[in-house]
Structure formats: structure tokens, C-alpha cells
Structure 1
Amino acid sequence: MTNEQATYRRVLRRETHAPRTIPATVVASIGVVLLLAALVGGAWWLIDEAFRDALARWYGALDAPAQLAVPIGVGVALVVCAIVLLALALLPGRRARRSRTTERSALLVDDGVIADSVAQAVARRTGVDRGRVAVTVGRRMVAVRITPTSGIPVDVGAADAAVNDVLTGIGFAATPRVSVEPDGVIA
């Protein structure tokens, strides 16, 4: 691997993956607020005897199941927060972009551009108005939904071939799924 290819890989990875700064900032802010609240509550507990008595009376007034439910509820809330934070940290934050490298260049294409080119090719090949072709590009699949003019049949094979031609031409592998709406629109 040449130095240029390593640079291409690094730049393309940075452009196809979302940064984690926003979730990290939110987690840090929540942590600071909770720690400050715990610090203020602990200091208040140590200084004010009336606060300790009021808290003990409130907790003592609860019946036995409710006294057990308070720590269990706090524990469940903490576990749910931990699972969400772990998911944010471990799951890849992917952007709707695809990348490809050659010996001399690196290519980064937004999924919206791929969807527009597929929709244009399908509309041209099937004779359907471009506004009636909806395309969704996923990680491994391209879903095409065609809404025909009422009474005019649409060739699904031609649409499928158009999708395959576009995807092969631009060099991105995906499985096409073409569907034609059963009810057309009146022109």
C-alpha cells in the first residue's frame, strides 16, 4: 500500500463516518449536572438536619414494596442509560455516503446522488415521469418504487435492468428491489 492509498483510506473513512462529538458533549454535560447535584445534595444532607429528617420521614412513610421499588427504579434507569451510552459508543455512525479508491484517485459519493441517477435512468427506460419514481438507497439495497400513470403498464424488467446498469456503471454494489404501485395516478 502506497502512502497515497493510506491517505485516501484515512480521508474516506473520516468522510463516511459521523463524528461522536455531539453524543460525547451531551454525556459529559449530563454527567457534570448529575455530579453537581449529588455534591449539593450531599452537602445539604451534612449541614441541614431538617433536610435529613424530612427525607427520612418521606422514605419511612412509604410502604414496604414502595421502599423496595425506589432503589430498583433508580437501578433500572441507570442500566438503560448505560445501554444507550454503550450503543452510542460502539455502533458505527455512518453517513449516507459511499467511497471507492483506485490507484490514482479516491471517490466519495452521497447516497442522494446515486438515488437521483437511478431514478433518472429508471424514468427514462420505462417512460414514466421522473416525479413518479422514488428511490431509497440503503447499505446493501436500492429500493425503487414506481407509480405509473393509470392504465399504462410498466415493464419491471426494464426498470430492474436500468438500476443494475447504473449501479454497475458507477461501481457500487447493491441489490435492487423494484416495485410498481398497483394503483396508478390519473394524468
Structure 2
Amino acid sequence: MTTNTATPRRLLRREATATRRGPAIALAVVLTLVLALLLVGVAAWALDEGFRTQAAAWFAPVPALLQMPSAAIAVGVALLLLALLLFALAVLPGRRARRTRLDTRAALVIDDGVLADAIADAVARRIGVPRGQVGVTVARRAALIRVTPTSGVPVDAAAAEEAAARVLDEVGFRLSPRVQVGREGVIA
């Protein structure tokens, strides 16, 4: 790779962060429906005298309801929470379950599930339990390894942690492995 790392870093950041397409589409659909309903309501209000009287009857209790302080506060709090949620969705970065690393020769993007499977395979081989009895969850800064032992056969937690640490060192990600051995085993 060249000494210019701006482009690979930008590509890695793009691969590791999620887009905001889902919330944006949902908001656009909801706003479109609300505006279409409003347009139909305005057209019906302008063209139909019966609709005007019916709508006036529907909305007659609203001014009295808004005169009550508790109702006005509840509406204000609900709108504030909606605004904060939309603001957070727009500003906070999304995170995909991926890890990235930039080396002198290559840029590496690895899915957390693939990393968890590699750790689980290495731990199962090292401590001598079937692969189905080892579960791994990769979090932001740690890898949680859950081992269900075979009934009557002890499990060496230090060896499991060492195997996980070796896999993490080989791929170059700084995660701290944490091993939890189940109290009850499975029958082999």
C-alpha cells in the first residue's frame, strides 16, 4: 500500500459504520402519509360543507383539552422526546458488527461473527470440548467465551483464555477474552 492512508482509512470507516437509510426512509414515509392526509383533509374542508361541520365536531374538545396544563405538558414532552430521537438517529454514528485494521500491505475488514467463530473453534480444540459447547460473543472491547463442559470432565479456563488470546493476537485485534465456564455440564 502507498504511504497515503487517507483513502484506505475512509473506506474502512465506511465499511464499519452503518448508514441511516432505514430511519430516514421510515421518517419520509410517515411524513408523506401525514402530508397526504392533511392535503385530503384541506381539500375536503374546502369542497364539502358536511365535512366541515363533522370536522368541527371532532376537533371541538381540543382547545378545552389544551387548556389543561397536564395535557399541554404531556404533548410537549412527547414532541420533545420524538425530536430527541430523530436528532439522535441523525447525528449519532451507526456501528456495524465489523472490525477494521489498516496494515502496511492491506486493509482488513472482519465481521464480528467470523471473529467469534474463529475464537470458538480455537477454544474448543484447545480444551477438548465439542464445538457446539463453546459460544462466543464479541463486544466492543471484549470477547465473552461461554463454555458448557461435558459432565464430569473439568475445563481449564486459563487454557481457553490463552487460546482466545492467541487467535486475537494473530488477527491483530485488541480484545480482552473473558471465559465463563458453566456450572452444569452436558451429558456426552
TM-score, normalised with respect to structure 1: 0.86
2:143 — aligned with what? Answer: 142
Residues 79/52 of structure 1: CA separation in 2 closer, same or farther (3 Å cut): farther
Deviation readout 1:23-79 (Å, 9 max, x if unpaired): 222221221221121122123223333223223333446895587577666555543
Residues 27/132 of structure 1: CA separation in 2 closer, same or farther (3 Å cut): same
Contact 1:59 1:67 in 2 (8 A): no
Deviation readout 1:160-184 (Å, 9 max, x if unpaired): 1111111122110112211011000
2:53 — aligned with what? Answer: 53
What does 1:75-154 align with in structure 2 at a 5 Å threshold?
A: 75-154=76-155
5+ residue gaps, structure 1, are: none
For residues 184 and 99 of structure 1, the distance between their equivalents in structure 2, rounded to whole angstroms, comes to 36
2:29 — aligned with what? Answer: 29
1:19 — aligned with what? Answer: 19
For residues 179 and 20 of structure 1, the distance between their equivalents in structure 2, rounded to whole angstroms, comes to 36
Deviation at residue 114 of structure 1 after TM alignment = 1.0
Q: Percent identity?
A: 52
Contact 2:66 2:72 in 1 (8 A): no
For residues 180 and 61 of structure 2, the distance between their equivalents in structure 1, rounded to whole angstroms, comes to 63
The 3-state SS of whatever aligns with 1:39 is helix
1:176 — aligned with what? Answer: 177
For residues 152 and 139 of structure 1, the distance between their equivalents in structure 2, rounded to whole angstroms, comes to 32
1:159 — aligned with what? Answer: 160
The 3-state SS of whatever aligns with 1:84 is helix
Deviation readout 1:84-104 (Å, 9 max, x if unpaired): 322221222111111111222
79-88 vs 119-128, which deviates more? 79-88
Residues 112/151 of structure 1: CA separation in 2 closer, same or farther (3 Å cut): same
For residues 139 and 47 of structure 1, the distance between their equivalents in structure 2, rounded to whole angstroms, comes to 59
Aligned residues: 186
5+ residue gaps, structure 2, are: none
For residues 76 and 52 of structure 1, the distance between their equivalents in structure 2, rounded to whole angstroms, comes to 31
For residues 61 and 15 of structure 2, the distance between their equivalents in structure 1, rounded to whole angstroms, comes to 57
TM-score, normalised with respect to structure 2: 0.86
Across the aligned residues of Structure 1 and Structure 2, the Cα RMSD in angstroms comes to 2.5
Contact 1:121 1:162 in 2 (8 A): yes
Contact 1:143 1:176 in 2 (8 A): yes
Contact 1:5 1:103 in 2 (8 A): no
